[in-house]
A and B are shown apart, each in its own frame.
Chain A
């Protein structure tokens, strides 16, 4: 009677679950590793399956004994307890056999570990810098050397807050994707500007923490063209959940084309350093830069979230001398969340500084790219 009550409760529970599941079924339900797109990810998948099978066998064996005992050795069916204990043979066996199984597992695993750490002879080397809360990429060696950009979350705020429907790549989309050629060994060198971050693309089986002040590395060789998504996986503060990683793997000719386009962009940006922009142009451009880089802490209202994230509206720095604010943005403020933004172009920095100096009731002079360039160390 009590049993049947329990059964009906469990049934009701699962009915509820099914309803919940159906409501979330707009997307396919992910429950296993993403499809591997590199040999390393395949090896990891294979190792995982081998170990799961070994575990399954042990699990069924051990708990077969337990559940059989629970069924057949119950007092309620009159089973009398036998008083045996201590048996050296059995105890040696169940120490030695698991140890042997572990040695068997360790052999193939060791090979994969060594392969995973082998970052030698890469075709392209990319330095990845973790910032609160975005990723900076510098192509250091190989085709594309010199390319440098910052990659931030592209999902609009209203999708996150629920006032717009969520897009296909919700929280997994960025403004500037990392582009790499297919079939080439890519070495990723990680570091960070502020706190520890961690760079991860599941489909490549590549994950490496980014440690401020130190460099670490990992590598991958993507064997299929396509766009691959990942996220920062080391808690790095407030917007930790909002700094995705997107890598687009393209064919060699397409990669060469992309490199050409990036170089042209960089050349144009260098030209801009000498130009003088109108106030309205700077404010317009600055608003976009602000939305991509500053808004998470200082908020769209410019009021920040004190005490960690001070307000810009009415701020002494923002309304003060130009040099003070340029230095703050270029160098950051030690031991606070305010980091250096020197990776941005002079024009972008001039624009965003001018924007903050002319918004939310602030009224201060405009800043031109040349002034920012002059204060770079």
Chain B
């Protein structure tokens, strides 16, 4: 009798019962709550970011509904401001950043020949912080006064006027920052300490390189944001006057601190996407990346320069002419390493043997439109032109080309590229191509016309406008509805793949040559590389 009880409590008894099970000790929901497995956590990140992408997308559709015609039809201006704010915060912190952490979790151990991430429990915690932060963000809508209507940049002193929803947002940003920093420490440690024998730094796949650099950017930049929002919090409640001139502070100080975080943040979002593209393009060109070393150096150069260009977001606050010139020259310099990357990708395709499965289509879409966003970035770097365009729809168009056609397209490329490996099943190629073309067309409908709106003088973040802007706004809104619907197709494709896709071979892509394709079965075992492979 007592022996049975002992046996039940004994950890080994437990192990035996589930020894050959394909996942950890628990089943059902507890598996996901307690998991320390990099693949499970990667999956959690990916689904979480898709949910946030859907919520943020619905907000965008709300914004576009109000802007479909001049006049106020759908919502009051206050709620409109709340939507623009939360759309930005949720897309940046809830959708785009986590999706690439999901990729990092799944791919880094597989690509460097490691069994798992370095800090498995920390990994669990960095994910499970996110749902709480997201809940705070969404809850802020239901507070008295609603969510903050201040723009995702949370500029002071407008933030001081907001209701309690602002405080929830501040705490959400704190928690999101914590999650990012923990995740980054984990990624840095994993990459630096857990590479397989023979996998030198300069043999790592470029995706791993871009994440290593991104993780350092995160560790450096996120505390700065936490500082900015904490100062906002104490200005709101504890009588400090960091951003209030009456007490010796300066509202512009907030902008400097925010953008000192904000510009590296742009590359935090973009670099992992560059990494994905640098895996996809060589695979479907059946040709090695043209300049591996120069890609690593260009990525590092971008990361370093990203810390000295922040005030190009602030040309109109009124800084000395020397300040404007410094930030303009520094910003223009970033075009050089970015150009090196684009040239490298094109040179990789040159004289390859190209096929255009969905991942490659998204990679080409990325290359074309990210470059377009880069060019408008160069236009905006020029001080006099920026002073004309600042805070207009031209800027909205510019950063959506970088964020959506850049980061989001790279994420889609990555999902289609690795989905067969992750799930062991192939997605439907025809539907994948439909998803690409619909997303491409609708994306350009939404955002290309916004360049015209901005040049013609339509400010951003306004719920109502003069009828001379109506045509472009209508096209943009129709595009937004289409883009939203096209993402339902994406959900359908992924669910259908998981449930009933054709079994995938170990290496479905002829030209793919990193470890997850060459050394691991499809789907990979629950514990990746129990014995590390030796590289050459």
User: Using a CB–CB distance below 8 Å, which chain A residues touch chain B?
Assistant: 2, 6, 10, 13, 16-17, 20-21, 23-34, 40-41, 43-44, 47-48, 51-52, 55, 58-59, 62-63, 65-66, 69-70, 73-76, 79-87, 90-91, 94-95, 98-99, 102, 105-106, 109-110, 112-114, 116-117, 159-162, 166, 169-172, 190, 194-196, 198, 200, 202, 205, 207-209, 211-214, 216-218, 230-242, 305-308, 334-337
Whole-angstrom CA separation of A368 from B390 in the bound complex: 45
Inter-chain CA distance A110–B287, complex, in Å, is 43
B351 at the interface (CB under 8 A from A): yes
Q: Could you list some 7 contacts between A and B, CB below 8 A?
A: A44-B384, A66-B364, A85-B290, A86-B293, A91-B291, A105-B332, A198-B390
* Given known A-B contacts A6-B437, A33-B388, A69-B354, A209 and B470 have beta carbons under 8 A apart: no
Q: How far is the CB of B62 from chain A (nearest CB, A)?
A: 16
B321 contacts chain A at the CB level, 8 A cutoff:
yes
Closest CB-CB distance, A119 to chain B, in whole Å?
10
Which stretch of B16-24, B31-39, B191-199, B457-465 is in the interface? B457-465
Compute how far the CA of A70 lies from the CA of B363 in the bound complex, rounded to whole angstroms: 12
Closest A residue by C-beta to B294: A91
Least CB separation from A103: chain B residue: B332
Task: Give min CB distance, B385 to chain A, whole Å.
Answer: 5
Do B379 and A24 have beta carbons less than 8 Å apart? Answer: no
For chain B, residues 63 to 94, give those with C-beta under 8 angstroms from any C-beta of chain A: 70-73, 76-78, 81
- CB B380 to nearest CB in A, in angstroms, measures 10
The A/B interface has a contact count, at CB < 8 Å, of 320
B352 smallest CB distance to A (angstroms): 5
B456 with A171: CB separation less than 8 A:
no
Q: Residue B459 contacts which of A76, A91, A102, A232 (CB distance < 8 angstroms)? A: A232
B288 within 8 A of A: yes
> Interface on B for A, CB 8 Å cutoff?
70-73, 76-78, 81, 144-145, 149-151, 155, 157-158, 160-163, 236, 244-246, 250-252, 285-294, 316-318, 320-321, 324-325, 328-329, 332-333, 335-336, 339-340, 342-343, 346-356, 364, 367-368, 371-372, 375, 378-379, 382-385, 387-388, 390-392, 430, 437, 441, 445, 452, 455-457, 459-472, 474-475, 478, 482, 511
- A30 B287 Cβ-Cβ under 8 A: no
Say which residue of B81, B144, B321, B456 sits within 8 Å of A240 (CB atoms): B81
B317 touches A98 (CB 8 A): no
Give B464 Cβ to nearest chain A Cβ, in Å.
Answer: 5
Residue pair B354, A162 in contact (C-beta under 8 Å): no
* CB proximity of B215 to chain A, nearest CB, Å: 26
Given contacts A66-B364, A305-B78, 12 further A-B contacts (CB under 8 A): A44-B385, A70-B354, A81-B287, A85-B291, A98-B335, A102-B333, A113-B325, A116-B384, A195-B158, A196-B155, A208-B318, A240-B461
B72 touches A23 (CB 8 A): no
In the complex, the answer to whether A117 meets B466 with C-beta atoms within 8 Å is no
Q: Find chain A residues with CB under 8 A from B291 CB.
A: 85-87, 91
A120 → chain B closest CB, angstroms: 12
Looking at chain A's contact residues, the main secondary structure is: mixed
Please name the residue on chain A nearest to B150 by beta carbon: A235
Question: Which one of A6, A25, A242, A307 contacts B145 once the chains associate, using CB atoms below 8 Å?
Answer: A307
Q: Quick check: B155 and A82 within 8 Å, CB to CB?
A: no
CA distance A40 to B387 in the complex (A): 11
On whether A20 and B379 interact (CB within 8 A), knowing A109-B384, A235-B81, the answer reads no
Q: Are A241 and B462 in contact (CB-based, < 8 A)?
A: yes
Q: Are B355 and A207 in contact, CB atoms less than 8 angstroms apart?
A: no
If the complex has contacts A161-B72, A211-B251, are A238 and B158 also in contact, measured as CB distance less than 8 A? no
A160 CB to nearest chain B CB (Å): 6
- Taking a contact as CB atoms under 8 Å apart, the answer to whether A235 and B346 are in contact is no
B252 proximity list for chain A (CB < 8 A): 211, 214
Chain B hits for A172, CB < 8 A: 466
A24 CA to B67 CA in the complex, in Å? 13
B343 touches A62 (CB 8 A): yes
Asked if B467 and A55 make an inter-chain contact with CB atoms under 8 angstroms apart, the answer reads no
Q: Is the CB of B352 within 8 A of A73?
A: yes
Q: Is the CB of A160 within 8 A of B364?
A: no
Contact B286 A75 (CB under 8 A): yes
Residue numbers in A under 8 Å from B375 (CB-CB): 55, 58-59
- CB contacts (< 8 Å) of A43 on chain B: these are 384
Known contacts: A86-B292, A307-B163. The answer to whether A30 contacts B144 by CB under 8 A is: no
User: Are A237 and B149 touching (Cβ within 8 A)?
Assistant: yes
| Choice from A99, A112, A241, A307 contacting B384 with Cβ under 8 Å | A112
Measured between alpha carbons, how far is A58 from B387 in the docked complex, in Å? 24
